[in-house]
Amino acid sequence: MSDFEQSVQDQDEAEDLPPATLPLDAWHRARDARMVEFAGYWMPVQYKGIIEEHLWTRAHAGLFDVSHMGQLEVSGEGAAAALEALLPADVAGLAPGRIRYSLLLDEAGGILDDLMVTNRGGTYYLVVNGATKWDDIAHLREYLPDEVTLNHLDEHGLLALQGPDAAQVLVRLGLTPALPGSPAVDALSFMQAAPYYWGERPLGISRSGYTGEDGYEISVRAADIVALADALCADDTVMPVGLGARDSLRLEAGLPLYGHDLTPETGPVEAGLAFAISKRRRIEGGFPGADRVVEEISAGPARKRVGLLVDGRMPAREGALVFAGDEQVGVVTSGGFSPSLERPIAMAYVAAGHAAPGTPLELEVRKRRLAATVTPMPFVPHKYHRQGG
């Protein structure tokens, strides 16, 4: 059982409400997807198999339904300043059409969620995690001032097209920019977004994703999502991919998963996310938990999120204890078998003194000790299409 499947089982046992369905539910079932309950919805965990779907995405293009994610729009006078009171990002300095990774923090500097913020030219588009979106919406509504409006775009779905063929797939789809001067879709750079038309259907497209591959996320009206998914999968280079492979891809990419590698007990600096706190915000503060965050940037955290290469074939899962000799020095937060590297890998939080690359450690798995070595992340190099690249 993978960490993703274990988290699904844990949620199944914890939640009493029946799962909801997403706009592509029947589409997934018609393609023999194995459906599971996740984040309050029925979701496809795999179609042909996690390893096959994982490797196809690395070589071609995988289509992921991530419509369970929360799509929010923040607008009104002072929207940027209002968001900066809740996020450590430089929202005011975010140019139109640009995207920034950020964090929703509590007063102690703990991570309530990680998210993406896009400047849509006066309004700010946020994508938040599906498992936390209702809490995020409640938090934002509580703390945003009255003159700032929060809209939940619940009549939209979200698709992620990831892999080296993704750009040309969208070119062949025949998209046209919706705004004068906007780039062609294949000319977008990583963390850039723009509106497009597919025929007369509007799409919001960003060059981003959570697999480490070049790719796009596509916000589409729920009424149009089946037609779009059909058109994308009609391309020979595209395969529908479930959330199981999305999890193994993001693990290889060294990307943290909220609820596992990130929690309210986790701070941005120990999580390796200090890059999300802009230089201006470090100086000015004014965001929740700023004192703790700035202090840890300066002095260093007590523990750090690290990558681990695990010897042998047995994977180490979330919760496995990490040892240096007889001393417990950390805990695994994500782990599994890497299809690309053909070996087990993991992420863990370990005491800072044991976090240097090359440090030998041991993981306790099923009452056995597995040898592991701290390694830089990502495990598999990122292939983002960066500006000027």
The per-residue pLDDT for range 294-311, each reduced to its tens digit, is 999 999 999 999 999 999
pLDDT at 389: 62
Tens of pLDDT, residue by residue over 61-78, are: 999 999 999 999 999 999
List pLDDT tens digits, range 213-270.
999 999 999 999 999 999 999 999 999 999 999 999 999 999 999 999 999 999 999 9
Say yes or no to pLDDT of 12 above 50.
no
Distance CA 305, CA 39 (A): 25
Quote the pLDDT of residue 209: 98
Euclidean distance between CA atoms 266 and 61, whole angstroms: 33
Same domain, 214 and 328: no
The per-residue pLDDT for 387 is 81
Distances (CA, A) of 293 to 94, 106, 116, 359: 21, 11, 20, 26
Q: Tell me the whole-structure pTM to 2 decimals.
A: 0.94
Averaged pLDDT for residues 342-346 = 98
Under the banding of pLDDT at 50, 70 and 90, the label for residue 4 is low
Same-domain check for residues 247 and 307: no
Tell me if 124 is assigned to some domain. Answer: no
Q: How far apart are CA 348 and CA 3, in angstroms?
A: 13
Confidence of residue 122 (pLDDT cuts 50, 70, 90): confident
Task: Output DSSP code: residue 273.
Answer: -
Angle at 77 between CA 72 and CA 81, to 5 degrees: 75
pLDDT confidence of residue 255: 98
- Structure confidence at residue 161 (pLDDT): 99
Q: How far apart are CA 152 and CA 121, in angstroms?
A: 18
Mean of the per-residue pLDDT values of the chain? 95
Domain with 180 in it: what CATH number? 3.30.1360.120
274 part of a folded domain: no
Are 60 and 163 in contact, with CB atoms under 8 Å apart? yes
- What pLDDT is stored for residue 135 in this prediction? 98
- Worst-scoring range by mean pLDDT, 70-74, 272-276, 385-389? 385-389
Per-residue model confidence (pLDDT) at position 383: 98
The reply to whether 174 and 59 lie within a common domain is: yes
- How far apart are alpha carbons 241 and 244 in whole angstroms? 8
Q: Say whether both 220 and 345 belong to one domain.
A: no
Give the DSSP H/E element, type plus range, for residue 5: helix 3-14
Domain limits for position 315: 302-375
Q: How many domains would you assign to the chain?
A: 2
CA angle at residue 261 from 298 to 376, to 5 degrees? Answer: 65
Residue 49: inside a domain, yes or no?
A: yes
What's the confidence (pLDDT) of residue 54? 98
In the predicted model, what is the mean pLDDT of residues 71-87?
A: 98
62/169 same-domain check: yes
Helices 225-233 and 166-173 sit at what angle, rounded to 10 degrees? 120
* Among 252, 276, 293, residue at a domain's last position: 252
| Torsions phi, psi for 383 (to 5 deg) | -125, 35
Cα 110 from Cα 289, distance rounded (Å): 7
SS3 351: strand
Same-domain check for residues 244 and 165? yes
Query: What would the pLDDT profile of 164-197 be if each residue is shown by its tens digit?
Result: 999 999 999 999 999 999 999 999 999 999 999 9
Q: Is the pLDDT of residue 7 over 60?
A: no
Q: What is the pLDDT of residue 1?
A: 43
pLDDT of residue 16: 66
Residues 60 and 170 in one domain: yes
Tell whether 115 is covered by a domain. Answer: no
Q: Are 285 and 291 in contact (CB under 8 A)?
A: yes
Please, which pLDDT band fits residue 15 given cuts at 50, 70 and 90? low
Q: Is the pLDDT at 388 greater than 90, yes or no?
A: no
* CATH code of the domain containing 366: 2.40.30.110
